[in-house]
Amino acid sequence: MWWLFLCLMGCQVFYTTDGEQTTVQVYNTSSYNKGIDNSIKSSVKINCHIDGIFLSKGSGNYLKDGKYKFVLTAAHVVNRCDEVHLVDKHGSTVLGEVVWTDEEKDISIVKPENELGGIETVHIDLKDKKYPVGGKVYFMGHPDELNFFLFEGLIALNGEEDFFLHSTGWGGVSGAVVFSKKGKALGVAKAVKVTINPITGFPRLLEDLVLVSKVDFLTKEILREAMGDG
């Protein structure tokens, strides 16, 4: 009985059923973290197709503001695609249309053709963004052969239009929305730091420095225009 009491105090319990058998999954959590929760429940895998052929994949998140529901991602994830496939954790796919892009900031808004099942929308919260150096953040991406992979990072450097995370970034993570611990959408992961090796003179990737575009410039007017109500 004591274990049940402790679990109720410090665990999250999830039930799944196929009509005949019920499975209980218990995840130990020391405290509720809205950033982790938002990262997990809104994550979308984005597959880019050209002429019907799969080209590449990236990440995004299913967000909402009022009546508008959309996927936020990095522009370079979708700007070469003939077709944008939005894929949930169950493998279900919905086509998406790129309706707004800022190439300089490397951010795009994708409008799903139909409701995305198996994914929950997260309120984007367009105000009160804070980027404290040392603040922890969370994002879920789809690196290499791994899908729906959760990352934790630390804001290491805060700039005017972007910020650096001390975290990890691999191919396929681009486009993931970065959330604060309180669940606010702070930015979109877009690149890792590249430097020149002083010995060889060749470029090298610093995969533990992730560059994120801020989204504090987004407004209701931009969303209205992107969603066709402008």
Write down all domains in the chain, each with its CATH number in brackets. Answer: 2-31 (no CATH), 42-122+219-226 (2.40.10.10), 123-214 (2.40.10.10)
pLDDT tier at 102 (50, 70, 90 boundaries)? very high
Tens of pLDDT, residue by residue over 121-168, are 999 988 878 999 999 999 999 988 889 999 999 999 999 999 999 887
Tens of pLDDT, residue by residue over 193-225, are 455 556 665 555 456 789 999 999 999 999 999
CA distance 200 to 204: 10
Tens of pLDDT, residue by residue over 174-193, are 999 999 999 999 999 997 54
Among the ranges given (23-32, 110-119, 148-157), the one the predictor scored with the smallest mean pLDDT: 23-32
Task: Give pTM, 2 decimals.
Answer: 0.81
Judged against a pLDDT cut of 80, whether residue 32 lies above it is answered with no
Alpha carbon separation from 104 to 75, 100, 156, 187 (Å, rounded): 9, 13, 22, 14
| Non-local CB neighbours of 178 within 8 Å, separated by 6+ positions | 137, 138, 139, 153, 165, 185, 186, 187, 188, 189, 212
Tokens 């949930």 correspond to: 88
| Non-local CB neighbours of 186 within 8 Å, separated by 6+ positions | 129, 131, 137, 163, 178, 179, 180, 212, 214, 215, 216
